[in-house]
């Protein structure tokens, strides 16, 4: 009976050690995450194997697991950059990015968990400065917003090509110009719009005038041709046809044959 406590104490110690060992060895990786294994006695970061996926894992207690979020993430950037003529422009942009899953070990080894501050932010800022510096404030305000969005995206992707991260989308939310420049551009655009409207009215009025002239010329030509074709013989025949139709009318009348000028019948009386 006296030996039982002595046997029980080592067992309890072993159980406790096992619990601590399992606790140190057990790693749970949540949804949307992945783990990079670091082997303390075997060349450090494991880069030649896929990262540890979601779920429960057992690793040697002397090794470490660095957990990364591998979902798409969003970065919001507000940057001050210069236009082609040296004016300060404020660009607000959102970038959607994520680490390249299969290269997570290389990312951890070369950049670490603060890869956002080390490469993504500097890449976006550098691309934005380069792209915006090609345009005037007027171009940025009116017609080139979509263009600069595409160009910043393409240049940032090129910078990040070998950095084990991928840029999915870059959206330029807003371009803010100095107030005085913005007002001047708006006045100029308004004047250009008014000028275009005035030119349109002039063109429309000119076309209407041309239409009236063409119609008048057409009518004049038609009358000339008709007048040229109306000989005395044709007029006499037309008069005879009209006389015949009148003679068939039920109204009372007196027709004197050959009494009018040019020998046309005269119609005397009615009712």
- On whether residue 142 sits in a domain, the answer given is yes
- On whether residue 192 sits in a domain, the answer given is no
Is 124 found in the same domain as 62?
no
- On whether residue 202 sits in a domain, the answer given is no
Q: Give the integer Cα–Cα distance in Å for 151 and 129.
A: 11
Is 119 found in the same domain as 97?
yes
The predicted pLDDT at position 203 comes to 77
The predicted pLDDT at position 58 comes to 85
Is 172 found in the same domain as 133?
yes
Is 236 found in the same domain as 164?
no
The predicted pLDDT at position 4 comes to 47
The predicted pLDDT at position 213 comes to 82
What the block records as the tokens of 183 is 């007002």
Residues of the domain holding 137? 73-182
Q: Among candidates 87, 89, 73, 70, which has minimal Cα distance to 152? A: 89
Is 174 found in the same domain as 117?
yes
**End-of-domain residue from the set 29, 44, 69:** 69
Residues of the chain with pLDDT under 70: 1-24, 143, 182-198, 200, 223, 226-271
Is 174 found in the same domain as 81?
yes
Cβ–Cβ < 8 Å for 130, 155:
yes
* Cα angle 210, 212, 215; round to 5: 105
- On whether residue 9 sits in a domain, the answer given is no
Is 82 found in the same domain as 51?
no
Is 82 found in the same domain as 32?
no
Q: Tally the domains of the chain.
A: 3
The predicted pLDDT at position 231 comes to 61
The predicted pLDDT at position 207 comes to 79
- On whether residue 118 sits in a domain, the answer given is yes
| pLDDT per residue as tens digits for the range 192-221 | 665 666 676 777 777 777 877 887 787 777
Q: Give the integer Cα–Cα distance in Å for 119 and 164.
A: 10
Is 168 found in the same domain as 80?
yes
The predicted pLDDT at position 1 comes to 45
What CATH number should be reported for the domain holding residue 158? Answer: 3.30.479.30
- On whether residue 200 sits in a domain, the answer given is no
The predicted pLDDT at position 170 comes to 95
- On whether residue 191 sits in a domain, the answer given is no
- On whether residue 176 sits in a domain, the answer given is yes
In DSSP terms, which residues pair with 169 in a beta bridge?
Answer: 96
Is 87 found in the same domain as 60?
no
In this prediction the pTM is 0.62
Is 101 found in the same domain as 86?
yes
The predicted pLDDT at position 31 comes to 93
Is 29 found in the same domain as 58?
yes
Residue with tokens 């989308």: 169
């Amino acid at each position: 009976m006296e030996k039982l406590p002595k046997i029980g104490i080592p067992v309890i110690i072993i159980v406790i050690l096992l619990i601590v060992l399992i606790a140190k060895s057990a790693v749970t990786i949540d949804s949307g995450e992945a783990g990079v294994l670091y082997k303390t006695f075997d060349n450090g970061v494991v880069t030649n194997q896929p990262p540890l996926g979601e779920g429960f894992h057992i690793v040697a207690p002397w090794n470490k697991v660095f957990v990364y979020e591998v979902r798409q993430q969003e970065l919001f950037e507000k940057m001050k950059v210069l236009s082609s003529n040296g004016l300060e422009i404020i660009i607000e942009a959102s970038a959607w990015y994520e680490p390249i899953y299969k290269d997570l070990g290389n990312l951890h080894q070369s950049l670490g968990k603060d890869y956002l501050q080390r490469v993504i932010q500097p890449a976006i800022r550098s691309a934005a400065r380069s792209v915006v510096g090609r345009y005037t404030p007027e171009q940025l305000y009116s017609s080139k917003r979509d263009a600069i969005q595409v160009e910043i995206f393409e240049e940032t992707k090129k910078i990040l090509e070998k950095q084990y991260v991928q840029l999915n989308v870059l959206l330029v939310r807003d371009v803010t110009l100095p107030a005085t420049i913005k007002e001047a551009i708006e006045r100029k655009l308004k004047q250009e719009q008014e000028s275009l409207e005035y030119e349109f009215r002039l063109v429309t009025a000119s076309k209407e005038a041309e239409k009236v002239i063409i119609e008048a010329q057409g009518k004049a030509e038609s009358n000339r041709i008709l007048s040229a074709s109306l000989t005395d013989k044709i007029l006499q025949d037309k008069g005879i046809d009209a006389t015949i139709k009148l003679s068939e009318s039920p109204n009372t009348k007196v027709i004197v044959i050959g009494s009018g000028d040019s020998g046309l019948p005269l119609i005397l009386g009615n009712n």
